[in-house]
């Protein structure tokens, strides 16, 4: 089971304010301006030393992806976590995500139409997570078959996080995965 | 090894030599970027900034690009456009290392010295105008823009004072 993510797409979607909030709540302090387009942040970590992050003021700087990628690397090193675990804190809306996992729950179907909510368990950003999505017609039948026969599935969609629950919106290319 | 790879490695070695003597560290960018080959980071307070940084594109050539007072180097349009922009967090420069055509002449070594031929030159394209060219732009680098230890220190100190190269 795996999930594939376009890194650049993920990073583009991280707002500077989200990262700023994260830094403030994780013991980092702002240490002045870096030229015209960023602020410098520092954190002292016991037995590791001082870490530094350049936080762009806006998403419009041309090296935004480079700087955020660096920040993720630095956060992962300073917290002794994987970069994907750090990234998972910033997942709010990531389009075109390919999921590969198992259907673990079929909610009670809608009464008059062939559709309903299902739960997929798959690894997203280094952790197994439950993802809810709404399927209909042929895709819904496939999901029931996958659930009953415990077959892996693949599916594309736009992942978002709502009240700490992952939801896959606009699910597409849903199919039983031929291993 | 292809000659082009040899040239690239030699220019890397030149950059590493200058950066090491200046006491800065070199890093490779976290994301593959066509217009950034290396970054240079200083440690410790320089001016108002704790850790000044600079990123650069490194080119090498054995072509006859030397004129009387300047180097005329044809730069790909994409690189030109990437380097001339002003809205980067970390400033960017271009470094062109000139070297002899024959690799046997690149290094002269004895017990007393290691001489690398010829020299690297740096240029900031920041704020340069848009061009109508379709594939490349010939940039002019003054010969006194030699990429030396002193020049690098000066650039980094400038960044520390809030002055972009």
> What pLDDT is recorded for position B98?
97
Query: What mean pLDDT is predicted for residues B137-163?
Result: 95
Q: Is the ipTM of this complex over 0.95?
A: no
Residue closest to A120 by CA, chosen among A140, A99, A104? A104
Q: List A residues 4-23 in contact with B (Cβ-Cβ < 8 A).
A: 7-8
B82 CB neighbours in chain A (<8 A) are 62
Does residue B130 register a pLDDT over 80? yes
Residue closest to B157 by CA, chosen among B58, B14, B55, B45? B45
A56 CB neighbours in chain B (<8 A) are 89
Query: What mean pLDDT is predicted for residues A73-82?
Result: 91
Give B24-44 pLDDT, tens digit per residue: 999 998 776 768 999 999 976
Would you call A101 an interface residue with chain B, using a CB distance cutoff of 8 Å? no
What tokens were used for A77? 């090193």
Residue A121 burial (10 A CB sphere; 0-12, 13-18, 19+): middle
Q: Rounded to a whole number, what is the distance in Å from the CA of B36 to chain A's nearest CA?
A: 10
Higher pLDDT, B58 or A5: B58
Give B86-98 pLDDT, tens digit per residue: 999 999 999 999 9
Would you call A60 an interface residue with chain B, using a CB distance cutoff of 8 Å? yes
Does residue A126 register a pLDDT over 90? no
Is the Cβ pair A69, B91 closer than 8 Å? no
- Please tell me whether the overall predicted TM-score, pTM, comes out greater than 0.90 for this model: no
The conformation of residue B144, written as its DSSP 8-state character, comes to: T
Give A52-69 pLDDT, tens digit per residue: 999 999 999 999 999 998
Query: What mean pLDDT is predicted for residues A88-110?
Result: 86
Give B47-56 pLDDT, tens digit per residue: 666 789 999 9
pLDDT-derived band of residue A3, with 50, 70 and 90 as boundaries?
very low
Among B49, B85, B159, beta carbon nearest to A62 = B85
> What pLDDT is recorded for position A90?
83
Among A37, A67, A70, beta carbon nearest to B87 = A37
Identify the bridge partners of residue B142 per DSSP, sorted by sequence position. Answer: B70
Q: Rounded to a whole number, what is the distance in Å from the CA of A113 to chain B's nearest CA?
A: 47
Q: List A residues 123-142 in contact with B (Cβ-Cβ < 8 A).
A: none
Is the Cβ pair B164, A35 closer than 8 Å? yes
- Please give the C-alpha separations between residue B158 and each of A8, A67, A138, B54, in angstroms, as whole numbers: 31, 21, 64, 11
Does residue A6 register a pLDDT over 70? no
């Amino acid at each position: 089971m795996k999930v594939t993510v376009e890194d650049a797409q993920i990073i583009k979607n991280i707002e500077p304010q989200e990262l700023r909030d994260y830094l403030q709540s994780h013991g980092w302090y702002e240490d002045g301006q870096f030229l015209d387009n960023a602020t410098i942040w520092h954190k002292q970590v016991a037995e590791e030393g001082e870490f530094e992050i350049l936080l762009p003021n806006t998403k419009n700087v041309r090296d935004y992806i480079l700087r955020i990628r660096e920040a993720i690397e630095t956060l992962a090193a300073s917290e002794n976590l994987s970069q994907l675990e750090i990234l998972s804190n910033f997942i709010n809306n990531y389009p075109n995500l390919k999921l590969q996992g198992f259907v673990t729950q079929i909610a009670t179907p809608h009464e008059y139409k062939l559709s309903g909510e299902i739960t997929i368990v798959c690894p997203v950003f280094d952790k197994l997570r439950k993802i809810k999505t709404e399927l209909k017609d042929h895709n819904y039948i496939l999901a029931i078959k996958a659930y009953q026969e415990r077959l892996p599935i693949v599916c594309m969609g736009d992942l978002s996080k709502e009240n700490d629950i992952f939801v896959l919106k606009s699910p597409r290319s849903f199919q039983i995965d031929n291993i | 090894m292809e000659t082009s790879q040899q040239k690239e490695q030699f220019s890397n070695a030149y950059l590493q030599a200058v950066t090491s003597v200046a006491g800065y560290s070199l890093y490779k960018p976290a994301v593959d970027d066509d217009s950034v080959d290396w970054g240079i980071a200083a440690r410790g307070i320089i001016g108002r900034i704790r850790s000044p940084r600079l990123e650069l594109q490194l080119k090498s050539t054995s072509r006859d690009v030397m004129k009387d007072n300047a180097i005329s180097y044809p730069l790909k349009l994409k690189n030109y456009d990437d380097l001339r922009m002003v809205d980067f967090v970390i400033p960017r420069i271009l470094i062109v290392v000139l070297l002899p055509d024959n690799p046997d002449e690149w290094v002269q070594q004895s017990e007393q010295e290691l001489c690398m031929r010829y020299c690297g030159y740096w240029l900031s394209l920041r704020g340069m105008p848009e061009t109508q060219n379709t594939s490349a732009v010939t940039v002019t680098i003054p010969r006194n823009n030699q990429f030396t230890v002193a020049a690098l220190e000066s650039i980094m100190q400038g960044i520390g004072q809030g002055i972009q190269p």
